[in-house]
Amino acid sequence: MNPDGITAAVGESRPRVEGRRKVTGSAHYVADVPVPDLAHGWMVTATVSRGRIRDIDATDTLAQPGVLGVLDHRNARRLNPDAGSYFGPDRSLSLLQDEVIAYAGRPIALVVAETPEQARAAAAMLRVAYDAEPHDIEFSMNHPAVRPASTLFGPEADTGDLEAELAASTVVVDEVYRTPEENHSAMEPHVATAWWEDGHLHALDSNQGPFTISQVMASLFFIDRDRVHIRAEHVGGGFGGKTICGAQIILAAMAAEHFERPVRVALTRRQVFLATGSRPPTEQRVRIGADAGGRLRAIHHHAAFALSPLSEYIEWCTEQARTLYAAPAIRTELSAVPLDILPPCSMRGPGAAPGSFAFESAVDEVAERLRIDPLRLRLLNQPVVAPVSGRPFSTRRLVTCLQEGARRFGWAQRDPRPRVRREGNLLVGTGVAAVAFMAGAFPASATITAEADGTFSVRIGACDIGTGARTALIAVAADALGVGTEQIHLYIGDSDIGPNPGAGGSRGTTSCAFAITETAKALREKLADADLPVTASVDTTPLINWQPGEERYTYSAVFAEVTVDPATGEVRVRRLLGMFAVGRVINPLLARSQLIGGMIGGLSMALHEEEVRDPVTGRLVTADFAGYHISAHADVPDIEADFVADYEPQDPSGFNGLGEIGNAGTAAAIANAVWHATGTRHRDLPISLGRVIEAAAAQDRPEAVSVA
Ligand code: MOS
């Protein structure tokens, strides 16, 4: 009960308010919304990885039925080359501006016709001639072009005397780990419908933050942000791939202006792979030194990732090394390698997911070499304060996650030796990994009106990309106003509502809940002496503490049990348990569902997902779900996520975000379990059939038996 005697909605499991509409088809996604006089654009993408367009011959295309025209660099309007994102100017957004091609998949033309079928057929007849130049897509942390990554997220760590501590260590693990280029693969492909009216741009767009996208579009098109109106009512997943301003909305807006009609650009699955960002490949060297008793003395994590020269980006793999364990010396380094590839962007626990795979594998290797239980090693090295900054943690329930997870998982019965547990032909193993994910809140604004009929209209520019944000925020608003959820009308997904960070960085719901809570407070003060309706608005920008005295993270311990068939190379995850400390949970049903989804993403990363480029052409050869494997239902027989009691003191309601932490620790737990099953340490993801078979064959050769 809250102070007004109404049952609190926060903390209660409730199904998504729009769930029924989604499963019955009446919730409209962008491509479902009818727009009169709509024309359709078909995106044409470059087939060379580097070079120039010599000529585009549209003669046949223009002769096809229904074709309105072709937009390319010769007739497209000028865009602002300085427009960009959080990371700075992003030249990948300046579409159709010149003949230069910086990656295969770069959109180079838009064919516009009366129907999508006509546009597609006509686009197939567009003749593009290229002057190809040699490309470089070969990623390695030793690439000659390697350079320090941007320090926009803060400086890397360097505490203590690393080399001295390594020299004084009883064991030193020094290994290199690799993760491939990956694609977000949201269920709903990117799609936008745009039209212009009296100098105002209107668009329906599948994205993760209508307000932030409206800022980028305003900058790109040299107009005031107030003249850009973007809506994203329902979005079929994002995973980071819809945080950036997508080619679909840029091209739709350009074409709508040019042809003076509403234009829709809907990407195919292949185009999503080719043209909408990816997680960059990483290569990571981890050195960890420990004494005989398992105390860590030195941690060195050097991570490198690929990016495009068109835009800055940070795959922040080094967060775990500075957060999870105490050690007298900790050094992190982050390097970027510019290549002729699709510009990467944030994906499902950016940095943390590949970073924790490398780092928590290395920690496991320390336990292996010291013959110490890997859970015990982790518990033994827990820091009292943040190991690098020396600041306290605002809340840190990682030990509880590890211990409670171990109890439920049955860790105490585990034989620590690898390759000893067999069931028929199968090798069985278990593994654990810990993970921390940076938490916080971004500025947001909310407006609440107390209506004359006793209901409350809550307006916030949040974006529900399938997480249940809408449902969660209704509960937050109801509690903050001291009313039942049925009295709340929530309006989201519209850039006109006001500044909002969108759904990203695991901070969407936390940021919006903060704004709603503060607005409700302001409204209740006004309500006392006013006639209805009464409205209050709050922007939390001045309320955000950017320099808190304490470090703020969410935590998780993930436990995995796998079976490995050494003959077929097949790894099956049999059990997966995640214990999470994510602050006060708003809606356990939806939070659990989101965390399980994240864990499945981690499983998919561990075993399946890999983008492959043809070295000769530089093109993706896995640009569909036949070539790019992601986990299906049958891959996860038994998966469980649960919470430990937690409260975030930096948030007025005790909340923290949980969008990405489900993903982040899972791949390491699975890789550690595969080692336990087989005795082979897989340091390259994914742990594919081929890699497992090769390792099994190597183990059968006498000279290689010393692996375990
Ligand atoms: Mo997230 S990868 O910031 O959508």
Full DSSP string of 484-497: -GGGEEEE-SBGGG
Q: Which of 506, 470, 428 is nearest to 240 (CA)?
A: 506
Q: What gap in Å lies between CA 518 and CA 524, rounded to an integer?
A: 10
Q: Which position among 312, 561, 609, 660 bears the catalytic label?
A: 660
Separation of 87 CA from ligand 1 center, angstroms? 14
pTM score? 0.97
Looking from the CA of 199 toward its CB, the CA atoms found within 13 Å total: 6
Q: Which of 708, 678, 671 is nearest to 693 (CA)?
A: 678
| CB of 240 sitting under 6 A from ligand 1 | yes
Separation of 599 CA from ligand 1 center, angstroms? 15
Strands (E) in 317-454, as ranges, are 329-338, 422-423, 426-438, 445-450
Q: What gap in Å lies between CA 13 and CA 594, rounded to an integer?
A: 13
Q: What gap in Å lies between CA 405 and CA 403, rounded to an integer?
A: 5
| CB of 678 sitting under 6 A from ligand 1 | no
Q: State the closest ligand 1 atom to the C-alpha of 240, by its place in the atom list counted from 1.
A: 4
| CB of 504 sitting under 6 A from ligand 1 | yes
| CB of 501 sitting under 6 A from ligand 1 | no
Separation of 275 CA from ligand 1 center, angstroms? 17
Q: What gap in Å lies between CA 28 and CA 325, rounded to an integer?
A: 47
| CB of 465 sitting under 6 A from ligand 1 | no
Residue 314 makes CB contacts below 8 A (sequence gap 6+) with 87, 149, 150, 152, 153, 334, 350, 351
> Could you please report the per-residue DSSP string of 48-110?
SSSEEEEEEE-HHHHTSTTEEEEE-TTTSPP--TT-EETTEEBGGG-TTSSSEE-STT-EEEE
Separation of 481 CA from ligand 1 center, angstroms? 30
Q: Which residue puts its alpha carbon closest to atom 4 of ligand 1?
A: 240
Q: State the closest ligand 1 atom to the C-alpha of 503, by its place in the atom list counted from 1.
A: 4
Q: State which residues of the chain have pLDDT below 50.
A: 1-2, 704-705, 707-708
Q: What gap in Å lies between CA 379 and CA 370, rounded to an integer?
A: 15
Q: State the closest ligand 1 atom to the C-alpha of 505, by its place in the atom list counted from 1.
A: 3
| CB of 467 sitting under 6 A from ligand 1 | no
Q: State the closest ligand 1 atom to the C-alpha of 350, by its place in the atom list counted from 1.
A: 2
Side chain identity, residue 286: V
Q: Which of 375, 265, 289, 394 is nearest to 655 (CA)?
A: 394
pLDDT of 694 reads 93
What letter does residue 350 receive in the DSSP assignment? T
pLDDT of 385 reads 97
Task: Print the SS3 string covering 123-161.
Answer: HCCCEEEEEECCCCCCCCCCCCCCEECCCCCCCCCEECC
Q: State the closest ligand 1 atom to the C-alpha of 243, by its place in the atom list counted from 1.
A: 4
| CB of 208 sitting under 6 A from ligand 1 | yes
Sign of the dihedral defined by the CA atoms of residues 351, 357, 363, 366, in that order:
negative
Sign of the dihedral defined by the CA atoms of residues 137, 140, 141, 142, in that order:
negative
| CB of 397 sitting under 6 A from ligand 1 | no
Q: What gap in Å lies between CA 232 and CA 235, rounded to an integer?
A: 7
| Cis before 533 (ω within 30) | yes
| CB of 507 sitting under 6 A from ligand 1 | no
Q: What gap in Å lies between CA 225 and CA 495, rounded to an integer?
A: 9
156 classed as catalytic: no
Sign of the dihedral defined by the CA atoms of residues 644, 649, 654, 657, in that order:
negative
Q: What is the pLDDT of residues 505-541, one digit of tens each?
A: 999 999 999 999 999 999 999 998 789 999 999 999 9
Q: State the closest ligand 1 atom to the C-alpha of 208, by its place in the atom list counted from 1.
A: 4
| CB of 348 sitting under 6 A from ligand 1 | yes
pLDDT of 428 reads 98
Q: What gap in Å lies between CA 434 and CA 426, rounded to an integer?
A: 27
Separation of 184 CA from ligand 1 center, angstroms? 10
| CB of 505 sitting under 6 A from ligand 1 | yes
| CB of 508 sitting under 6 A from ligand 1 | no
Decide the pairing of beta strands 228-231 and 147-148: unpaired
pLDDT of 703 reads 55
Q: State the closest ligand 1 atom to the C-alpha of 184, by its place in the atom list counted from 1.
A: 2
Separation of 259 CA from ligand 1 center, angstroms? 34
Side chain identity, residue 440: G
Decide the pairing of beta strands 39-45 and 263-266: parallel
Separation of 239 CA from ligand 1 center, angstroms? 5
Location of structure tokens 């001045």: 542
Q: Which of 363, 367, 357 is nearest to 683 (CA)?
A: 357
Q: What gap in Å lies between CA 507 and CA 118, rounded to an integer?
A: 42
Residue 400 makes CB contacts below 8 A (sequence gap 6+) with 579, 581, 644
Query: How is residue 26 written in tokens?
Result: 């009446």
pLDDT of 7 reads 66
Q: What gap in Å lies between CA 270 and CA 345, rounded to an integer?
A: 18
Contact in structure between 483 and 524 (CB atoms under 8 Å): no
φ, ψ dihedrals at 386, nearest 5° = -60, 125
pLDDT of 602 reads 97
Separation of 346 CA from ligand 1 center, angstroms? 5
Q: What is the pLDDT of residues 149-176, one digit of tens each?
A: 999 999 999 999 999 999 999 999 999 9
Q: What gap in Å lies between CA 304 and CA 173, rounded to an integer?
A: 19
Pocket test for ligand 1, best of 212, 314, 660 (most atoms within 8 A of CB): 660
pLDDT of 1 reads 43
Separation of 570 CA from ligand 1 center, angstroms? 30
Location of structure tokens 């809606």: 587
